[in-house]
Structure 1
């Protein structure tokens, strides 16, 4: 199975994005950090991490969780979408809490092509 073509689900994207956020914030990521951020039980996090490791998205070294190249790419794409939609929603007047929640939903359902076209259009409108 080619890992490049593996379709990630919402849950896996959320885990990878959370790992990326934690690494950016703290410099390293532990399973307990993920459980706290996502408000999930440690056993649930453990099961998800095992799956992500088997699929080649993360590598575990002792307590430290690291993103592989493909994992970092997937996490960065999800994070980029999330931040774009959160900022867009806030800019058009949606309350920050709602913008955060809804950005998390939209980031998973929009195609890469539609996202890039929408972002390009939004930037063109802002710069007009």
Structure 2
């Protein structure tokens, strides 16, 4: 399944919020991303239809097993790419913003090569 960039952003945000919140609500996701309530509602329905999230009877959003796998992969890309850019001397804010754009388009082959290079030379 080819998930669009916005869908990946939602999954990553749900994952990150779930690390610090017992329950994640659509309103939390919208506030984090700066998206409108209707946009978040539509995205939640699309992600639910794709089997990537579950929404319980209280409206709490949880990643499905497949959604968690994708979200963790996206988040790993973000953190590794941010670290690489910071290692190159880019400030943290810019590195994080640029990593956010890159993470959605970089191939698995290139990302795996970056991780292997970092492992070989003692970086995370």
Q: Does residue 41 of the first structure (1) align with residue 36 of the second (2)?
A: yes
Unaligned segments of structure 1, at least 5 residues: 1-5
1:14-45, Cα deviation, whole Å (9 max, x unpaired): 00000000000112210011011000011110
Q: 2:105 aligns with which of 100, 109, 112?
A: 109
Q: CA deviation at 1:105?
A: 0.7
1:77 equivalent in structure 2: 73
State the number of aligned residues: 122
Give the alignment's Cα RMSD to 1 decimal.
Answer: 1.1
Unaligned segments of structure 2, at least 5 residues: none
1:14 equivalent in structure 2: 9
1 CA distance for matches of 2:8 and 2:47?
10
TM-score, normalised to structure 2, is 0.94
1:125 equivalent in structure 2: 121
TM-score, normalised to structure 1, is 0.91
Comparing 118-127 with 29-38, greater Cα deviation is found at 118-127
2 CA distance for matches of 1:78 and 1:28?
21
For residues 88-107 of structure 1, the aligned pairs below 5 Å read 88-107=84-103
SS in 2 for 1:53: helix
2:82 equivalent in structure 1: 86
1 CA distance for matches of 2:76 and 2:113?
14
